Amino acid sequence: MSALKGNLIMFCVAAALLSRTAQGAVDQVTIDSGQVKGRIEGSVVSFKGIPFADPPVGANRWRAPQPVHPWRVVRQATEYGADCMQNPFPGDAAPLGVTPREDCLYANVWAPATRTSQKLAVMVWIYGGGFVNGGSSPAVYSGSHFAERGVVLISFNYRVGRFGFFAHPALTRENPTGPLGNYAYLDQIAALEWVRRNAAAFGGDPANVTIFGESAGGGSVLMLLTSPMAHGLFQKAIIESGGGRSNRVFPQKSLQEGEAVGVAFAKANGITGEDEAALKALRDLPADTVVNKLNMATMGAAAGTYAGPMVDGKIVVETPDKAFRAGHQAKVPLIAGANSADIGFSMAKTFDDVYAPFGDNRKKAEAAWNAEGSTNVRTVGSAVAMDTMMVEPARFIVSMMAAAGQPAYEYRFSYVAEAMRKQWKGAPHATEIPFVFDTVAARYTDKLTDQDEKMGAAANKYWVAFAKTGDPDSAGGPKWPKYTAGQDMILDFTESGPVAEADPWKDRLDLISGVASSGH
C-alpha cells in the first residue's frame, strides 16, 4: 500500500471516530501515528506521553528529530513520558514529576472532554530552566484549567543541556548542509509541526495556535518569532520573562565557536579527532557523562564545555533584537512582560560600577533607581540588572511589534502569594507561572488563600482570552490597553488585582533603552 493511501485511510478512520463521538465525551482519538487513549477527569480529557518524534538516542543523538514510528494498537496516554536528560536543580519551583531520560520527545494534551463542532484555540507551552533544566511534567504546568475555559493546551519536551545544544566538527562533516547545533530548537519546531498536523484530532484549530513560554521558554518564543524555520507554525505569542536584547539573557555563540566548545568537551572525555570514529565515541558516551552535573547552578563553571544556543545560520539566523529592528519577526499579536522582582545578575561592587554604563546620565539614573531610598549597592545593582535583563527588553519587544502594526500588550506581574509576603518584596522570577496556569494550589498547597485563587483565575482568563481572540480584554477583568510608545501603558497584576496604568518605571527603563541603543 502506498504511503498516500495509508495516510488517506488513517484520515478517514479519524474522521469516522470523531463523527461517532461528536455529541459526547471523547477519550480516544486517532493522530497521524496511531490511536491514543487518554483519561477523563471531570470536564477535561488529558493525553500524556505521546511521542512526537523518534527517541533521540544512539545514532539520533545530536540529530534533528526523526519521524516517529507509527503504532498499530491503541496507545495508552495517561502518564507523562520521561522529561529530557538532565541534572535536576535543587529547590526548583517546578520540580520534575518523572525521572529524566535521553528518550524524552513526548507531548501532552488537555482538552474539553465533551466535543462540539467548534474548533478551539490551541496554546502550546514551552518550559524554562535556563536551557539546562526543565520538563513538561511539573504539576504547576497542568493544562486542566486552560481546557476548562475552552482551550486545547499542549506541552512537550525538548532536549536540554549538551543534548540540546552541541556542535562539533565531526557533526558538521556528517551533515554539512545542516541544520546544526540547536537541537533543542529543532525539537520545538518539530513539536509545533506535530501540533499543526494533529491539533484537530483533539478539537483544536491548527490555524489558531498561541505559543507561550517563560525564561528559557520565553527566549524560545523569541527564537520562534524570528526563525525562518518556524514561519507559519503559530498565530500569536506570549513571552514571560524571556528577555529580548542580545547578550542580555542567553548569550549566543556562533556555530564555529560552538564547535570549539564541543571539541573541548570531547577532549575532556578522551575523544580526539573530527572523523566518524570520534562522532561514534561521542554518541556512545553514557548520558550521565554528557550531563556531567550540568544544571542552572553549575552553568558558569561549565562554560568551557557547554555552548548553549548558537547563531547557526539556518535555525537561528540573527539575534532577536536585530531581527525585530529589521522587521524580520513574525507579525502576530503579542503579550510580553516580566515580574516585579525578576532575575538580574549584578557584579557591581560600588555605586560607580552600577552607574558606569549611564555615563552623563548618572544623576538621572541615581534618581530613578534610588527612588526607594536604598543605600545598598547590591539591592540597587540587582534592580538595574533586572531591568536590563528582563523588564526593559520586554518593553522593547512589545514596542517593536506595535511599531510593526500588530496588537501588542505589556504586563508586569507584581502579585506575591500571601504566604510569601514576609519573605519577598516583589514577585520573583517564574512565580507568575502557577497563576497563569491557575495551578496555585499545586504550588502553595495548604498555604493557599482565597486571594491567591482569585489572582490565578484572573491571570488565566487573560491568557485564555488572548489565545482565543488576540485581545485579552474579553477576559472580563480591567481593560488591558494595547501598547503605544506615547502612553507606555501596562497591566500590572498587583495584590489589589490587575491594574492598567502608565508604567511607573518608565524613566528608568528609558535610561536602559538609551544604553542599549548606544551599544554599550
The full set of domain ranges for the chain reads 3-518
Q: b/e for 458-489, b at 16 or more Cβ within 10 A? A: bbbbbbbbbbbbbebbebebbebbbbeeeebb
Residue pair 25/45 in contact (Cβ under 8 Å)? The answer is: yes
Give pLDDT, residue 156.
98
Q: b/e for 262-281, b at 16 or more Cβ within 10 A? A: bbebbeeeebeebeeebbeb
Neighbours of 37 (CB within 10 A): 14
Per-residue three-class SS string for 153-171: EEEECCCCHHHHEECCHHH
The residues pairing with 122 across neighbouring beta strands, listed in sequence order, are: 152, 209
The residues pairing with 334 across neighbouring beta strands, listed in sequence order, are: 237, 408
> pLDDT tens-digit profile of 30-81?
999 999 999 999 999 999 999 999 999 999 999 999 999 999 999 999 999 9
Sorted by sequence, the CB contacts under 8 Å of residue 16 that are 6+ apart come out as none
Rounded to 5°, angle at Cα 185 from 179 and 188: 120
Q: Which CATH superfamily is domain 3-518 in?
A: Alpha/Beta hydrolase fold, catalytic domain (3.40.50.1820)
Place of cell 522593547: 396
Could you tell me which of 20, 470, 490 has the C-alpha nearest to residue 208? 470
Sorted by sequence, the CB contacts under 8 Å of residue 440 that are 6+ apart come out as 417, 434, 448, 452, 453, 455, 456
Neighbours of 377 (CB within 10 A): 16
User: What is the spatial distance between Cα 50 and Cα 126, in angstroms, rounded to a whole number?
Assistant: 16
> pLDDT tens-digit profile of 222-239?
999 999 999 999 999 999
Give pLDDT, residue 293.
96
Neighbours of 491 (CB within 10 A): 23
pLDDT by residue for the chain (520 residues), tens digit each? 344 444 444 444 444 444 344 447 899 999 999 999 999 999 999 999 999 999 999 999 999 999 999 999 999 999 999 999 999 988 888 999 999 999 999 999 999 999 999 999 999 999 999 999 999 999 999 999 999 999 999 999 999 999 999 999 999 999 999 999 999 999 999 999 999 999 999 999 999 999 999 999 999 999 999 999 999 999 999 999 999 998 555 568 999 999 999 999 999 999 999 999 999 999 999 999 999 999 999 998 999 999 999 999 999 999 999 999 999 999 999 999 999 999 999 999 999 999 999 999 999 999 999 855 577 899 999 999 999 999 999 999 999 999 999 999 999 999 999 999 999 999 999 999 999 999 999 999 889 999 999 999 999 999 999 999 999 988 889 999 999 988 999 999 999 999 999 999 999 999 999 999 876 5
User: What is the spatial distance between Cα 29 and Cα 7, in angstroms, rounded to a whole number?
Assistant: 15
Set of cell numbers at residue 443: 504550588
